[in-house]
Structure 1
Amino acid sequence: MSKTVADVMTANPATIDAGQPVSVAARIMSSEDTGAVIITNDGVISGIVTDRDIAVRIVAEDKGPDTPVQDACSDDLVTVGPDTSLEQVVQLMRSRAVRRMPVVENNKAVGIVSIGDLAMERDPDSALADISAAEGNQ
């Protein structure tokens, strides 16, 4: 069984500059088959935006597709390093009620870890692991 985030994370996550519109983030999510994009500001990680963030904070509020992606993300970013133990990341995700967490090294996004990644590692026969391993919808 893996011991650190580096063993289960998705490396080279999709990123977007904070000033880019949410429509670009949505296109990245579609082309990369992901539900989250890491936001950077001058190359330094500053947030994460999810498909749900766009639905709840942009679409539901009648904001347009040109709204800057930084307006869709949460202010309380929590990150982990690649050497963070799986137990630590599980506890952080539980306490913060988040489904995905950026993996950062030297202020740069090097990966992203999700509850699906953890499920595939810790309980590969679970429904969440099966769903996470399945090919995405197009």
Structure 2
Amino acid sequence: MPIENLARSDVVTAQEGDSVQELATRMDESHVGSIVITDGDEPIGIVTDRDLATRVLGNGMDPSEATAGDVMSEDPTTIDHDAGFYQMTELMSEDGVRRLPVCNDDDELVGIITYDDLSELLADEHMHLSDVIQAQRPEY
């Protein structure tokens, strides 16, 4: 199944010059743990809630003065919209990431898929498999 069928298209984004205070507020309001930093439609970085804790608070930065560009992980690992499920899991594992911005053929951001999405998908599949097995089990 292509990633574009699994990914969420409602990606929360920000610009490199946005303050980390704005990012934290946007994450809270959107109930997400990361924001993709874009230049136009192209992802150039990602800031996670962990980045805010370790890179801002941990380093004593002023959240109203520090910007996304100061704390973002540059050149984020992305995945093509037509990549498959196994490519996604392999990429997450190899690169040690929990969030993958999804890009189209023009490298434009079209979605995001997270480790939590993957866990939810697998839990749903296990539930479905259990239902199939239960339906096939003979009555004694």
Using the size of structure 1 for normalisation, the TM-score is: 0.83
1:94 aligns with 2:105: no
Q: Contact between 1:4 and 1:86, CA under 8 Å: does it hold in 2?
A: yes
Shift of 1:56: 0.7
Shift of 1:61: 0.2
Identity level (%): 29
Structure 2 alignment gaps of length 5 or more = 127-140
1:112 aligns with 2:112: yes
Based on CA coordinates, which of the two structures has the bigger radius of gyration?
2
Give the match's secondary structure for 1:89: helix
Which segments of structure 1 move beyond 2 Å, counting only runs of 4 or more?
41-44, 122-126
Partner of 2:17: 19
Using the size of structure 2 for normalisation, the TM-score is: 0.82
Q: Which one has the bigger helix percentage?
A: 2
Mean Cα deviation higher: 86-95 or 3-12: 3-12
Q: What RMSD in Å do the two structures reach over aligned CA positions?
A: 1.6
Look up the equivalent residue of 1:10 and give its one-letter code. R
Partner of 2:83: 84
Shift of 1:12: 2.5
Structure 1 alignment gaps of length 5 or more = 127-138
Give the match's secondary structure for 1:10: coil
The count of corresponding residues between Structure 1 and Structure 2 is 124
